[in-house]
């Protein structure tokens, strides 16, 4: 499965089933990466994801396994991922 680490974080931390406020989910995400020393690895995975021309951003956020948010456009979904997964790491380095 493509982008497995990103999907895992979205499914286990940001899934709408958990009803976590966004700032709480972001803190859990950052703390789990810090604890496992995988922050830089995640940044590389995200960079690869942003370079992938065939990716479905909407599919990363809403699919048969989990739903984070269901955006109307790919650009909205990409912007969300950039903001909560990428920018939150970039701010905390």
Q: Mean pLDDT per segment of 10 residues, for the chain of length 93 residues?
A: 92 96 97 94 96 96 97 98 94 56
As a whole number of angstroms, the distance between CA 54 and CA 68 comes to 20
As a whole number of angstroms, the distance between CA 81 and CA 58 comes to 10
Residue 66 near residue 10, CB atoms below 8 Å: yes
Q: What is the pLDDT of residue 90?
A: 78
> Hey, where are the domains in the chain?
4-92
Q: Which of 52, 48, 47, 42 is nearest to 93 (CA)?
A: 42
């Amino acid at each position: 499965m493509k982008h497995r680490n990103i999907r895992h974080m979205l499914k286990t931390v940001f899934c709408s089933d958990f009803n976590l406020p966004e700032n709480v989910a972001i803190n859990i995400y950052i703390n789990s990466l810090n604890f496992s020393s995988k922050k830089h690895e995640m940044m590389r995975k995200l960079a690869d994801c942003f370079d992938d021309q065939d990716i479905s951003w909407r599919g990363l956020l809403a699919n048969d396994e989990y739903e984070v948010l269901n955006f109307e456009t790919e650009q909205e979904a990409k912007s969300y991922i950039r903001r909560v997964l990428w920018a939150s790491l970039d701010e905390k380095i």
